[in-house]
Structure 1
Amino acid sequence: MSLDQTATKPHEQLATHLGGGMEAVNTLIRTRMASEHAPRIPEVTAHLVEAGGKRLRPMLTLAAAELCGYDGPYHVNLAAAVEFIHTATLLHDDVVDESGQRRGRPTANLLWDNKSSVLVGDYLLSRSFQLMVETGNLRVLDILANASATIAEGEVLQLTASQDLRTNEAIYLQIVRGKTAALFSAATQVGGVIATAPEDQVQALFDYGDALGIAFQIVDDLLDYQGDSNATGKNVGDDFRERKLTLPVIKAIAAASPEERAFWQRTIEKGRQEDGDLDHAQSLLRKHDTLAATRTDALAWADKAKTAMRCLPEHPLRQMLIDLADYVVARVN
């Protein structure tokens, strides 16, 4: 089930509530992705930025700031910086993964080339740091700089661990915390920091973003084996073809017979994949019920995100963020 097929759509409620702020964010993004001397930069950036993404991460920053009573201008800078970091990581990821499709469209590296994608990603990261510096707040700069480093660390860890059958659920969680949850938690945390919220609220916002990001990635990994490519904008089985050990497979390997383990060694560790292997992999996931177990984990993380919201002020946005946690896991049934 896609996000747009659910009965309630908290991301649309957020977008409506935050309409003025998101309009300012989008204007700032378009202004800062411009380049006087290198027209390819806005061409490549616009291809991804205008591809219909829900702008979830910048909305989290705006929502957290408003929830904590902020009435200044710099939440817009931070939200745009978060989106630039996210876009840069997507450009880099598609090169690393040799992906051909994102959000239902050809990737930038496919339409242009790897060099353009990497260099434009670097440009956007630089722009994001300019936006952070303009806030004059050293702590938000520290949070987002650390998140950027953590994202890169998570991606490098995934390179070495994702094709190693010794990778367990703890290592998987470390990867997910790096490559996905770090930006979610930073996005919410800086909203509280720029609003000078009490420290317990700032920590709660971090905890919410961390748990939401983990749930989001677990669901994403689950959809790779049972999703609808028309709904997700991704090719089903990409993680298998790219030999990534994600949670459903890690759980299946833990329960594997010697014959099944040999199958995973051939296809994931050694990369010798044949016609029918994806179907067989999916049958093993069903045999060991790892898809259902993975969904249970995602639901547990969504519950942690909702629990973290309890100490935040009463506000319509608080309920929207709670609903968003349920919404993220509603993509799988």
Structure 2
Amino acid sequence: MNINTATKPHERLAATLTEDLAAANTLIRARMASEHAPRIPEVTAHLVEAGGKRLRPMLTLAAARMCGYDGPYHIHLAATVEFIHTATLLHDDVVDESGQRRGRPTANLLWDNKSSVLVGDYLFARSFQLMVETGSLRVLDILANAAATIAEGEVLQLTAAQNLATDEEIYLKIVRGKTAALFSAATEVGGVIAGAPAEQIQALYDYGDALGIAFQIADDLLDYQGDSAATGKNVGDDFRERKLTLPVIKSVARATPEERAFWVRTIEKGQQSEGDLDTALSLMAKYDTLEETRADAVAWTDKARAALTRLPDHPIRRMLDDLSDYVVSRLL
């Protein structure tokens, strides 16, 4: 794609980073190969080639370039980030018993749970091999911490997902774990590999953290008011799967005893019937929690943009600024 014909911020960023992304894709394909188990590249390719935006590896490449890096290892780190992301998606779909992702059948549906879990494990192992090749212990530390935080966030979600005592603070911990940890690690390691000063590395971390949180809040909101053709999810999937996301948490916090009983029945006990989604949406409308959730996403976007002001002026910085806006422009 030519940068002049790209319209969305992530497309403009991809056009700017065309050569780096091509090199990362070549490395990803080479490292997802397996001499002895052909199912590994089959399962991996199903996700890796599914037409995702490659947002996380793009953030690594963008951060490294913005900080003036001209070595080869940002490519390794971009591939590492994509492998960690793909591994978590494979594991997530098994945990959530999902049948669809990005509008396509999930790997666990096409193959089986065992294949998804084991291929995810293989990709985690591959990601660590790639990290080691950079020769940077600090990079290894950041990405290993991110991998542990992601797993921690998923386990926390498992225990908190259907518990009405889950509040906004716990929700933020879950989001920081399952989504923002990889965004912030992706941007931070780009600065580290480029040898950027400490204050710039911190700014990159802060940008990735805030962007990741805004991204997840926006995703949770789109579940209740998005276009299923655009999101690849049916409206209300999170409700049907009994996930306590921010719009519901805000509604539960203000619920009357009668409304709370509704949330207990549908979310905690999972006893859902015809019309319950409409009731849930009417309660969200009553307390304006969808609009409040959108305002939270915008506030995190503002934090991401503020972090960028601490970084060198660069065309990529302006694209990352536009990318922050794009995360919430999907909600308008």
**TM-score normalised by the chain length of structure 1:** 0.97
Aligned partners of 2:240, 2:118: CA distance in 1, in Å?
26
Q: Deviations over 1:129-149 (max 9, x none)?
A: 000000000000000000000
8 Å contact 1:101–1:235 — kept in the other structure? Answer: no
Structure 1 residue 228, shift from structure 2 partner: 1.2
Aligned partners of 1:218, 1:52: CA distance in 2, in Å?
22
Structure 1 residue 188, shift from structure 2 partner: 0.0
Aligned partners of 2:117, 2:20: CA distance in 1, in Å?
29
8 Å contact 1:68–1:313 — kept in the other structure? Answer: yes
Aligned partners of 1:8, 1:305: CA distance in 2, in Å?
21
The residue that corresponds to 1:158 in the other structure is 157
AA in 2 matched with 1:9: K
Structure 1 residue 8, shift from structure 2 partner: 4.4
Task: Flag the structure with more relative contact order, 1 or 2, with Cα contacts below 8 A and sequence separation at least 6.
Answer: 1
Structure 1 residue 126, shift from structure 2 partner: 0.5
Q: Deviations over 1:172-228 (max 9, x none)?
A: 001000000000000000000000100000000000000000000000000111111
8 Å contact 1:95–1:118 — kept in the other structure? Answer: yes
The residue that corresponds to 2:43 in the other structure is 44
The residue that corresponds to 1:120 in the other structure is 119
Aligned partners of 1:172, 1:322: CA distance in 2, in Å?
26
The residue that corresponds to 2:273 in the other structure is 274
8 Å contact 1:306–1:322 — kept in the other structure? Answer: yes
8 Å contact 1:253–1:264 — kept in the other structure? Answer: yes
Aligned partners of 1:276, 1:30: CA distance in 2, in Å?
46
Structure 1 residue 292, shift from structure 2 partner: 0.3
Structure 1 residue 235, shift from structure 2 partner: 2.1
Structure 1 stretches of at least 4 aligned residues deviating more than 6 Å after TM superposition: none
Secondary structure of 2:309 counterpart? helix
Which piece of structure 1 moves more, 270-279 or 285-294?
270-279
The residue that corresponds to 2:3 in the other structure is none
The residue that corresponds to 1:243 in the other structure is 242
The residue that corresponds to 1:77 in the other structure is 76
Alignment of 1:20-59 (within 5 A): 20-59=19-58
Secondary structure of 1:204 counterpart? helix
Consecutive unaligned residues of structure 1, counting only runs of 5 or more, are 1-6
Aligned partners of 2:149, 2:119: CA distance in 1, in Å?
20
Alignment of 1:213-224 (within 5 A): 213-224=212-223
AA in 2 matched with 1:130: Q
Aligned partners of 2:175, 2:74: CA distance in 1, in Å?
26
**TM-score normalised by the chain length of structure 2:** 0.97
8 Å contact 1:78–1:132 — kept in the other structure? Answer: yes
AA in 1 matched with 2:29: R
The residue that corresponds to 1:284 in the other structure is 283
The residue that corresponds to 2:14 in the other structure is 15
AA in 2 matched with 1:55: R
Structure 1 residue 282, shift from structure 2 partner: 1.3
Aligned partners of 1:87, 1:218: CA distance in 2, in Å?
20
Consecutive unaligned residues of structure 2, counting only runs of 5 or more, are 1-5
Alignment of 1:71-220 (within 5 A): 71-220=70-219
The residue that corresponds to 1:4 in the other structure is none
Q: Deviations over 1:87-145 (max 9, x none)?
A: 00000000000111100101000111100100000000000000000000000000000
RMSD across aligned positions (CA): 0.8
